[in-house]
């Protein structure tokens, strides 16, 4: 038996709008010429530094990427090449698709990850992706990203599972039962985030007659495109409300962040947003793009508004209720009350997919050792989300433009039919 030479490599998946970048290897590379792969290279430094260096050399996108996950390494044995590859997989989110390809690549495509299963790829490319792909657990445990971002990940989970099932030889009935169970688990994963349920329901409702996993995979692809388009339109329409104004915001909404990054506000005040403190990362990102940013403790929101240090309050939403109330990170209701008292406009930036079908919604709580980790028998209550009533909301800024709270009841009824699957 031929002794295998062990070589350490990185494999880096770049993701944009729910699709990953695949590169076709040129005839000039040392192995697997003509096959499809991700950004890859021999490890010459730490895994992450090597990954970033390869992304820079092969795509020119190093400044546009942010690390999502480094997966556990695994081995791939190729006796033909007398090589045992030790693969270190990575997943990066990518802000745009402006590639600068080098000599290692002859062709580049952005495709749904399930395309990996249909192409002639380097060995175990799907295994590499599976080590970093979103999962039911990562959606349940994520306390950093907003609901729109997590809805994309949920759609990817459903799409990827359906794609895998398409290659299996199980009977259609058992496949559809497994698909229904996964969809149910995804809907229940984050009960405070109606957008996940609505977008998953849209896929399953579309396939309720055919009950075919290939239709679910196609519907998931389409729904991902629709979801990104709706959130981008909401951000574009909201940007003009921030332009030329002093904005106060809190927590992390991807849609709102996109609006602020494309707008030209005079200044932005960001509350730190405990528990979790994700407002700090939002402030950093805004500052990196040249915006004048002030970070404040949550307890200072009322003071900042009373002192007229902001002209408008813009927040995201995790769910909208039919009454026009909405669910968002803890601290939102106090900000709305302070804005109402100070006669400052309070707008919610959101896509309409975040509409919940009824008024009953489960609000998530978390354990927070930050609040108290001492020796005394003190009960700690650390709610993560709260409901802000409609009378405190000036309007919702959606993909359809400004929408009054009282319109939500009629719109919510349209989502009820999607839950029938």
| CATH number reported for the structural domain that contains residue 298 in this entry | 3.40.50.10470
- CATH classification at residue 37: 3.90.79.10
The answer to whether residues 322 and 200 belong to one domain is no
The answer to whether residues 102 and 162 belong to one domain is no
Place of tokens 């497994």: 178
Has residue 368 been placed in a domain?
yes
The answer to whether residues 89 and 24 belong to one domain is yes
The answer to whether residues 315 and 355 belong to one domain is yes
- What confidence tens digit (pLDDT) does each residue in 231-242 have? 999 999 999 999
Has residue 414 been placed in a domain?
no
Instruction: Enumerate helices (H) and strands (E) in the chain, giving the number of each.
Output: 12, 18
Q: What would the mean pLDDT of 169-182 be, rounded to a whole number?
A: 91
What is the rounded distance in angstroms from the CA atom of residue 60 to the CA atom of residue 209? 45
Q: What residue numbers bound the domain in which 305 lies?
A: 232-409
The answer to whether residues 143 and 83 belong to one domain is no
Q: Which of 89, 112, 130 is the last residue of a domain?
A: 130
Q: How many domains in the chain?
A: 3
The answer to whether residues 326 and 278 belong to one domain is yes
What is the chain's mean pLDDT, rounded? 95
Has residue 117 been placed in a domain?
yes
Has residue 416 been placed in a domain?
no
Has residue 419 been placed in a domain?
no
The answer to whether residues 147 and 10 belong to one domain is no
pLDDT confidence bin for 370, thresholds 50/70/90: confident
Burial of 282 (0-12, 13-18, 19+ CB in 10 A): buried
Has residue 415 been placed in a domain?
no
The answer to whether residues 328 and 362 belong to one domain is yes
In this predicted structure, the answer to whether residue 273 has a pLDDT above a threshold of 90 is: yes
The answer to whether residues 259 and 380 belong to one domain is yes
The answer to whether residues 236 and 348 belong to one domain is yes
pTM score over 0.75: yes
Alpha helices in 251-313 (DSSP H): 254-262, 278-288, 301-306
Q: What would the mean pLDDT of 206-219 be, rounded to a whole number?
A: 96
Strand partners, 402: 397
- What confidence tens digit (pLDDT) does each residue in 59-94 have? 999 989 999 999 999 999 999 999 999 999 999 999
């Amino acid at each position: 038996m031929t002794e295998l030479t062990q070589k350490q490599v990185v494999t880096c998946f770049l993701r944009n709008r729910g699709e990953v970048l695949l590169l076709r290897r040129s005839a000039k590379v040392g192995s697997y010429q003509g096959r499809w792969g991700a950004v890859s290279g021999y490890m010459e430094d730490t895994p992450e530094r090597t990954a970033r260096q390869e992304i820079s050399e092969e795509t020119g996108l190093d400044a546009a990427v942010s690390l999502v996950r480094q997966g556990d390494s695994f081995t791939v044995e190729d006796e033909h090449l007398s090589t045992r590859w030790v693969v270190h997989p990575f997943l990066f989110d990518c802000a745009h698709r402006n590639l600068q390809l080098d000599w290692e690549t002859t062709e580049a495509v952005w495709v749904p990850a399930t395309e990996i299963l249909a192409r002639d790829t380097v060995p175990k490319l799907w295994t590499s992706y599976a080590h970093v792909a979103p999962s039911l657990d990562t959606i349940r445990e994520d306390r950093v990203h907003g609901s729109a971002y997590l809805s994309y990940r949920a759609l990817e989970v459903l799409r990827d599972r359906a794609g895998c099932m398409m290659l299996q030889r199980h009977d259609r009935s058992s496949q559809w039962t497994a698909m229904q169970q996964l969809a149910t688990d995804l809907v229940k994963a984050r009960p405070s985030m109606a957008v996940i349920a609505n977008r998953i329901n849209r896929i399953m409702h579309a396939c309720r007659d055919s009950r075919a996993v290939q239709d679910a995979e196609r519907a998931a692809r389409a729904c991902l495109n629709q979801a990104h388009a709706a959130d981008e339109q909401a951000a574009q329409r909201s940007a003009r409300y921030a332009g030329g104004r002093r904005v106060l915001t809190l927590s992390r909404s991807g849609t709102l962040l996109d609006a602020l990054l494309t707008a030209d506000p005079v200044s932005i005040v960001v509350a730190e947003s405990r528990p979790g403190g994700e407002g700090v990362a939002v402030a950093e990102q805004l500052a990196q793009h040249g915006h004048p940013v002030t970070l404040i403790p949550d307890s200072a929101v009322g003071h900042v508004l009373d002192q007229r240090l902001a002209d408008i309050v813009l927040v995201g939403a995790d769910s909208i209720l039919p009454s026009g109330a909405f669910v968002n990170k803890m601290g939102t209701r106090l900000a709305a009350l302070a804005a109402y008292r100070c006669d400052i406009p309070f707008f919610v930036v959101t896509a309409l997919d975040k509409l919940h079908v009824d008024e009953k919604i489960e609000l998530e709580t978390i354990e927070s050792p930050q609040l108290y980790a001492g020796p005394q028998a003190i009960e700690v209550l650390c709610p993560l989300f709260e409901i802000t009533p409609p009378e405190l909301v000036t309007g919702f800024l959606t993909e359809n433009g400004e929408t009054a709270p009282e319109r939500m009841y009629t719109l919510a009824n349209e989502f009820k039919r999607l839950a029938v699957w």
